[in-house]
Chains A and B, each alone.
Chain A
Amino acid sequence: MNTYDRLTEIFQEIFDNDDVVATPELSAHDVDEWDSLSHIRVIVTVEEAFGIRLSVSEISNLTNVGEMVALIESKG
């Protein structure tokens, strides 16, 4: 399972929405349920799933899922 597939699972679970699919262009603006708290839940779940730790500045600078994937893979 690649990073996008794993993120799709995480997003669908957290947003409780099976229609959400992780793509490089996807951002919080595209998902109604993606508010600041669900963003934190995404981050913490990503940290646990990939065994990494993200800093606040790294999290704050993310603008779309493509950047999130690049960040995850840079930590791997």
Chain B
Amino acid sequence: MTSILSNTPHIADFRQGILDENGMHQGFLDPALASLTEDEVRELSDYITYCLDGGVDMPELVECYRTILDDTFQEQLNFMRTKAYRHSTFAEVADSVYFNKEYMTRYMHGLAFTAFIWPNHVEMRRFFLKSLPREKTGHYLEIGPGHGFYFMSAMKQGTFDRFTGVDISKTSVELTRKIVGHHFPKENRPVEIMESDFLQSTVSDGPFDAIVMGEVLEHVERPQDFLARIAGLAGPETHIFITTCVNAPAIDHIYLYRNPDEVTAMINSAGLEVRESYTGAYFGKSLEESRRLNLPINVAYVLEKAR
């Protein structure tokens, strides 16, 4: 931990900024940072540098992460009182989140940081990178790239020759284009980031060679429709990767899965099968405890089209 802070001053400043506002987070933050690999520390530091170079200063970055913490705290409090998410329709959250540029930008930067701080988000990203085919070519489709981190990572690590992203939020489209442009200023492979509702979008008929959808299902009213469209765009060899969460309230989560079995049942009814999975219990709790106490659980799957 000491070496991370001394070798990466941006991370040290970011950490101190968070702790100045929320000392209670130290018990969570420090072990999380200490558990990162050298590559992840470098990526986190690079992401902070990228943001700073893009005109977002350190207090703003701290505020982005604090926004996620504060909003999640309020939603978790509501969830424990009511056993339900506060909102259940897209219309209730669309204007205040997805179509609110100021909030969405803050939210997306904050969410990107959780990929390095929240243990389950760290593990899901590792699972994503580990499972992404190294030698598969063809067309990569990502639904809801959000901050663009998975999309950019797929371009870095994958060998696909064409990339398409679809996101309903104009702000997310801009953020993804920006991070891709930053990391791939001379990219020759075709890259298209579309602003559209995936269910209404005019992406090609497929089959795509990879379809990735991270943290989308909990944001939509009918996740089964998204899974069904993915199944329709997939061929027998398509690499499909999705993540979602169970009992995990957030300001814009509207579809509540109450246990991981509900997710897999929906996957199967859409004509998809689980090939590999990751299930992350709440930090410091077993999966059984997390289920019993209705604590957040994160799930990620590598899927294939049912044969």
Contacts and interface: CB of A to CB of B under 8 A. Distances in A.
A36 B28 contact: yes
B307 interface: no
Interface in A15-45: 28-29, 32-37, 39-41, 43-44
Interface in B61-114: 69, 73-74, 76-77, 80-81
B282 interface: yes
B283 interface: yes
Interface in B270-307: 282-284, 293, 295-296
Contacts of B183: none
B80 A36 contact: no
Interface residues of B, number: 18
Contacts of B73: 36, 40, 56
A47 interface: yes
B27 A40 contact: no
A34 B56 CA distance: 32
Interface of B: 23-25, 27-28, 69, 73-74, 76-77, 80-81, 282-284, 293, 295-296
A36 B24 contact: yes
Nearest to A32: B27
A66 B264 CA distance: 46
A36 B69 contact: yes
B284 A41 contact: no
A5 to B, nearest CB: 23
Interface of A: 28-29, 32-37, 39-41, 43-44, 47, 56, 59
A33 B74 contact: no
- B interface majority secondary structure: helix
A40 B80 contact: yes
B23 A40 contact: no
A3 B80 CA distance: 22
7 tightest A-B CB contacts, nearest first = A44-B80, A28-B24, A40-B76, A40-B77, A35-B28, A56-B74, A40-B80
A10 B69 CA distance: 24
A34 to B, nearest CB: 7
B27 A35 contact: yes
A4 B77 CA distance: 23
A35 B284 contact: yes
A29 B74 CA distance: 21
Contacts of B25: 36
Contacts of A29: 23-24
Contact of A33 (B282, B284, B293): B284
Contacts of B81: 44, 47
A40 B25 CA distance: 13
A36 B295 CA distance: 12
B76 A37 contact: yes
A41 B296 CA distance: 13
B34 to A, nearest CB: 15
A31 to B, nearest CB: 9
B221 to A, nearest CB: 26
B80 A41 contact: yes
A47 B73 CA distance: 16
A35 B24 CA distance: 7
Nearest to A56: B74
Contacts of B69: 36
A43 B293 CA distance: 15
B284 A44 contact: no
